[in-house]
């Protein structure tokens, strides 16, 4: 190999990147929504973010109802169900959003490149 890069670093580069020259150093910025290596991720459109956001919003509403509303503990065996249900929903929402952040869905390269040619209408 004629480049100064170790073989394992240049193996993941595409031909277009190789022809463009050596890879940028560690100080190069990675665009938002893309982990290092040029892979595209689903980002905000990841379903886990949407589910986590909804769970967290409902959890905040239930927590507020549990704190400021009538706890009705006689119906729930002495437990403030709104408060505890809200706390659990907020935690579940945070877990979903952390999961999406730590393990992002990587969009395959053929889909990340753009739309494919359209098929003719059926009929």
Give how far Cα 106 sits from Cα of 34, 37, 87, 103, Å. 9, 11, 31, 9
Please state, in angstroms and rounded to a whole number, the distance separating the CA atoms of residues 104 and 97.
10
8 has a pLDDT exceeding 90: no
Alpha helices in 1-123 (DSSP H): 7-10, 15-20, 47-68, 81-102, 109-112
- pLDDT for res 77: 92
- pLDDT for res 111: 62
- pLDDT for res 113: 61
- pLDDT for res 123: 67
Domain boundaries, the chain: 43-106
Count helices and strands (H / E) in the chain: 5, 2
Please state, in angstroms and rounded to a whole number, the distance separating the CA atoms of residues 37 and 57.
34
Give how far Cα 65 sits from Cα of 56, 77, 84, 86, Å. 14, 18, 11, 9
- Judge contact between 96 and 55, C-beta under 8 A: yes
pLDDT tens figures, 17-60: 444 444 444 444 444 555 555 678 878 788 999 999 999 999 99
Instruction: Write down the pTM of the prediction.
Output: 0.58
- pLDDT for res 109: 76
pLDDT tens figures, 54-101: 999 999 999 999 999 998 889 999 999 999 999 999 999 999 999 999
Please state, in angstroms and rounded to a whole number, the distance separating the CA atoms of residues 48 and 52.
6
- pLDDT for res 107: 81
């Amino acid at each position: 190999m004629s480049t100064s890069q170790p073989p394992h670093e240049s193996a993941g580069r595409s031909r277009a990147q190789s022809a463009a020259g050596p890879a940028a150093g560690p100080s190069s910025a990675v665009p938002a929504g893309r982990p290092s290596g040029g892979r595209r991720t689903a980002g905000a459109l990841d379903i886990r973010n949407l589910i986590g956001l909804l769970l967290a919003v409902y959890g905040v509403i239930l927590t507020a109802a549990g704190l400021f509303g009538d706890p009705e503990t006689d119906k729930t065996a002495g437990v403030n169900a709104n408060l505890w249900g809200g706390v659990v929903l907020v935690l579940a929402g945070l877990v979903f959003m952390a999961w999406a952040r730590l393990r992002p869905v990587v969009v395959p390269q053929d889909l990340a490149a753009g739309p494919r040619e359209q098929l003719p209408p059926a009929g």
